[in-house]
Amino acid sequence: MRLGFVMLTHTALDRAAQVARYWASNGCPVVIHVDRRTPAAEHDALRAGLADLANVRFSPRHVCEWGTWGLVAATQAASSMMLAEFPEVQRVYLASGSCLPLRPVGELQSYLDQHPRTDFIESVTAADVDWTIGGLNSERFTLRFPFSWRKHRVLFDGYVRLQRRLGIRRRLPEGLVPHLGSQWWCLTRQTLSAILDGPGRAAYDRFFRKVWIPDESYFQSLVRIHSTNIESRSLTLSKFDFQGKPHIFYDDHLQLLRRSDCFVARKIWPQADKLYETFLSPEAASQPRAEPNPGRIDRLFSKAVERRLTGRAGLYMQSRFPTRERENGRTAAPYSLFQGFAELFEDFETWLSKSAGTRVHGNLFAPDRVQFAGGVGIYNGCLSDSTALRDYNPRAFLASLIWNTRGERQCFQFGPDDAQKITEFIAGDPNAQVSVITGAFAIPLFRSNLNFGIIRTEAARLQRIESEFLSVLRAPTSKARVRIWNLAEFLENPIEPLQTIVDEINPRSPHRLSEVPRLVDLTGFGQFLQNLRNQGMKPVLMGDFPVNGPSPTSGRRARSKQ
């Protein structure tokens, strides 16, 4: 069986010549079409360079502007020439000047022999296609496109909108079901000649002349009329990115291409010397090969597109700076904020880091310095403990901390005395687990040795700030996982909330808490609150404390109810 190649070329003709020579000298006739816009000098050089090969022809040149009829006309002319001048050719393979054969022609021939009378052409019903760019699927066939998309985008778009509004639709030729697919196919002589010489060709051509991107639909639709056996896939490995532009292969893709077992790949960067050298060398054959399997290349390119479209959650960088609400993850990983716990429990940070097995910081937003775990001056990613740097851009500070420590959950203390600019960012972040014991800010004041006048003012200030924080947390826009108790309520049963929080931080630890943190001594706290009231302040966030009675668990180790 003989295989012939039709090549559509426009740039990097030296590479096209190299590939054409490879095919031709391996016994496959080649018909080359050179875009009419290519400078004559380059075209002449190509012809001269291939003049020694008897089975290479050049077809009449058409202007091939992307998305227009010219590409189809060029393909038709070159294919007709192939069928007419090389009567022994049974299959025609359509390739471009930037295609590169990955396996020897012999292997492709025998693969085709194993699939007799089969047309390899990707052909998908236009109605089912969702991968075209620009939202034009079936409208490619029903609208008219007299304006160039490249040169007159505004007119192009405007005319599409106008036709949509007026409801103008073209009639499809009888029997034609629009199909779309990759431009690169391999057809049998029977099918191709039926398409080129069939009785309806003039009508079809007239119709497709005004279809948008006809090179992706002309043969793909007509083959459904003429072929008896369609294998709807392309033998050419060709991947497109989200803008509809083909991914390009470079030297560093060599191993991937080799293992793909595909027959032909496009598009190859013209200066990928190693690829051309390797795959066009006579030794390229060798080990027994399997079915084409582009899976790994697919994954590589779809990951790249995902990186371009979705990006890495929680990352802010020079080429990713999402506007608010389009962050796709404000921060990179879950983290926990605790307010009031360090005031209520002795040595809460040590206890938490032991029980939950995480990194526990002090008050990261403290007014005097950033209290990183262990009191260090510089933390992961070279974050500084300078409050000026932190407060210059608190969001960047927190987002950086969470990004830098991916893989290790961060917990930190927060309080009404801390820098509050960050609160809205945290409240709107689904990664934040926020646990607040309201009113606990009064405990250090209660235990302090300050004058009561100062205590009263300070308590009022902290209460006001904490109330503001609470309303931010309770706002409808809040997305954080928020838990709020008032101090009295929390003291009734401190273990259960702790258990819940620790379980959520570290779901893999199935045990009940074996050790619980020690509560500070609250004897007389009720009286302290009453004193505040007597001085004219209204402590509301602590809940109901009996004035004289001891607080529920004061002085004892908190114990689980069970």
Cβ nearer to other proteins, comparing 392 with 557: 392
Residue 43 CB, nearest distance to other proteins (Å)?
19
Residue 242 CB, nearest distance to other proteins (Å)?
7
Residue 326 CB, nearest distance to other proteins (Å)?
5
CA 184/CA 263 separation, integer angstroms: 12
CA 272/CA 275 separation, integer angstroms: 6
Q: Which two tokens stand for residue 548?
A: 């004289």
Cβ nearer to other proteins, comparing 393 with 534: 393
CA 260/CA 433 separation, integer angstroms: 45
Residue 464 CB, nearest distance to other proteins (Å)?
28
Cβ nearer to other proteins, comparing 369 with 518: 369
Cβ nearer to other proteins, comparing 320 with 557: 320
Which residues, other chains included, contact 256 with Cβ-Cβ below 8 Å and sequence gap of 6+?
Answer: 296, 297, 300
Which residue has tokens 């291409």? 257
Which residue has tokens 């309770």? 474
Cβ nearer to other proteins, comparing 316 with 452: 316
How would you class 396 by CB atoms within 10 Å of its CB: exposed for 0-12, middle for 13-18, buried for 19 or more? middle
495, 517 Cβ separation under 8 angstroms: no
Residue 354 CB, nearest distance to other proteins (Å)?
23
Binding site for other proteins (CB under 8 A): 241-243, 245, 247-248, 250-252, 269, 271, 300-301, 303-305, 307-312, 315-323, 326-328, 378-384, 386, 388-389, 392-393, 396-397, 400, 403-404
Residue 301 CB, nearest distance to other proteins (Å)?
5
Residue 18 CB, nearest distance to other proteins (Å)?
18
Residue 393 CB, nearest distance to other proteins (Å)?
4
181, 140 Cβ separation under 8 angstroms: no
Ramachandran angles phi, psi of 371, nearest 5° = -90, 80
Secondary structure of residue 201 in the 3-state scheme: helix
CA 361/CA 370 separation, integer angstroms: 9
Cβ nearer to other proteins, comparing 105 with 237: 237
160, 67 Cβ separation under 8 angstroms: no
Element (H, E) at 435: strand 432-438
Cβ nearer to other proteins, comparing 229 with 310: 310
Which residues, other chains included, contact 161 with Cβ-Cβ below 8 Å and sequence gap of 6+?
Answer: none
Cβ nearer to other proteins, comparing 196 with 396: 396
Distance between alpha carbon 384 and the CA centroid of its chain, in Å?
A: 32
CA 137/CA 139 separation, integer angstroms: 5
| Nearest partner of 122 among 186, 46, 173, judged by Cα | 186
Please, where are the H alpha helices in 177-264? 189-197, 201-208, 218-226, 254-260
Residue 380 CB, nearest distance to other proteins (Å)?
6
Residue 331 CB, nearest distance to other proteins (Å)?
13
Secondary structure of residue 81 in the 3-state scheme: helix
CA 79/CA 186 separation, integer angstroms: 11
Residue 427 CB, nearest distance to other proteins (Å)?
20
Cβ nearer to other proteins, comparing 294 with 415: 294
Residue 174 CB, nearest distance to other proteins (Å)?
40
Cβ nearer to other proteins, comparing 66 with 549: 66
Which residues, other chains included, contact 559 with Cβ-Cβ below 8 Å and sequence gap of 6+?
Answer: 495, 516, 553
Cβ nearer to other proteins, comparing 365 with 525: 365
CA distances from 257 to 117, 234, 254, 293 (A): 28, 16, 5, 10
- Beta carbons within 10 angstroms of residue 246's beta carbon: 14
Cβ nearer to other proteins, comparing 60 with 242: 242
Helix axes 273-280, 13-25, angle to 10 degrees: 10
Which amino acid type is present at position 77? A
Q: Which two tokens stand for residue 425?
A: 């960012």
